[in-house]
Structure 1
């Protein structure tokens, strides 16, 4: 999932799909690139289980996959306490450094 979202074009496609389903040509329009390029991006998003598609006649429509971000949100939630501890340690170090610098200036 994170690999699929690493590309800015793919993130823009996901942002567009957050507003509702869209065809490949609708998704390609703002980028000014060939349809096969957008299809490659959509395949990467499908492989990351972020989007799903349906074909009706000759038109393939994409939408965000239900619950696509649940696993990523859960993983990020588990990482949060560790990240907060690191920020707390950095804050303490900066405060000590600032106090030492003030002491040397006096």
Structure 2
């Protein structure tokens, strides 16, 4: 199994059976996105706790680089509008990385 601490922006990571794009990395968080059936999805990894899941703050998008940067600031308690975010305690799961690809 691959260690989540080795993930870098621009890689594709396989979590269980789905491939995700690594969009932002700032210890201890990694934000990944994917698109399926015309809809965008995201997951946030906490590499220290070895969990992943959705964020808890409504209104933070994860479609553009600016939205992802804003989400990362909220995760670190640095959002300019004092928006706080954490990985959902109810809807998280263990991180299981089954593959990594560098995207050219």
Query: What TM-score results when the alignment is normalised by the length of structure 1?
Result: 0.26
Larger Rg: 1
> Per residue, is there more helix in 1 or in 2?
1
Which structure has greater strand proportion?
2
Give the TM-score of the pair, scaled to structure 2: 0.27
